Amino acid sequence: MSGTSDKIKGRVKEAVGALTDDKRLKREGKLDQATGKIKKTVERVVDKAKNAVNRNV
């Protein structure tokens, strides 16, 4: 799953958790959002590294 989809899934879980007063679901949503943010950052770093390698070839 990509970082963006994890962030979206997390937002939905957090919102449903807030609406239903489900603290566990709300926490899972926040965790999914954090995971998505980390994945997105890693994706950017990998892309920059690939671009740097391609420029030097």
Q: Where are the beta strands (DSSP E) in 1-57?
A: none
Q: How confident is the model at residue 2 (pLDDT cuts 50, 70, 90)?
A: confident
What the block records as the tokens of 13 is: 């879980």
How many angstroms separate the Cα of 41 from the Cα of each of 21, 22, 48, 49?
31, 29, 11, 12
| CA distance linking residue 5 with residue 35, whole number of Å | 10
Enumerate the domain spans of the chain: 3-56
Mean pLDDT (the chain) is: 94
Q: What is the pLDDT of residue 12?
A: 97
Say what the alpha-carbon torsion angle 31, 37, 38, 43 is, to the nearest 10 degrees. Answer: 140
Q: What is the pLDDT of residues 20-46, one digit of tens each?
A: 999 999 999 999 999 999 999 999 999
Q: What is the pLDDT of residue 43?
A: 94
Q: What is the pLDDT of residue 56?
A: 78
